[in-house]
Amino acid sequence: MKNTYMNYLDWPTIPNDIIPSVQSIIDKPMRDRGKYNNIFFHPKSINDNVSNWIMNNICPILASEIKMIQYQVIYPNLPIHIDSGSRRVGLNYLLQSGGKNAETKIYNVDREEIISSTNINPFIWHYIITEMPHTVSNIEDVRVGISIVLTKKGEDIFFEQINYSPRE
Ligand SMILES: [Fe+2]
């Protein structure tokens, strides 16, 4: 998976013993995001110990520019979308991929052409450029992961690290 739009990150693995069970994450209530709540993508509040571990173990420059960390539970048939709240990049860590055929796909702006398609492995930090249209297809059960939302400044710092020019 060597491309501009998604790639693995050389960040430390989260110790398994601090991560709650996937089922307990699925069972958590969805964060209330008003009009953004939908049946495909359920954001859930992160546990403090997991959040603290991440803030203490990732690149300190980015850690100080975290807007939010959340669990995300994704169900089949997630539509192609650009992230709400103008998030331009997601820093993610899967706990359960949703099946061996689950495929993260990024499209060109017109959504006519797939420009990147990857079967992302769990338990490895990775990023996805979420200002481009994207989806996850072929989810068989449920996909569960941890996701960091950076501040705009944090996103700009990250884009410089990966040598990516944002759309605006
Ligand atoms: Fe997204």
**Mean pLDDT (10-residue bins), the chain, 168 residues:** 84 98 97 87 97 97 97 97 92 97 96 96 98 97 97 98 92
Residue 139 corresponds to which tokens in the numbers above? Answer: 């989810």
**Ligand 1 centre and the CA of 52: distance in Å?**
24
Geometric angle at alpha carbon 25, from 88 and 106, rounded to 5°: 30
Closest CA relative to residue 123, chosen from 7, 3, 16, 5: 16
Nearest to 5 by CA among 68, 90, 84, 113: 90
Q: How far is the CA of 81 from the centre of ligand 1 (A)?
A: 6
Question: What pLDDT was estimated at residue 25?
Answer: 98
CB 126 within 8 A of CB 119: no
Class of domain 6-162 as given by CATH: mainly beta
pLDDT (0 to 100) of residue 48: 98
**pLDDT at site 127:** 98
d(CA 21, ligand 1 centre) in Å:
23
Give dist(CA 93, CA 71) in Å, integer. Answer: 9
Q: Quote the pTM value.
A: 0.95
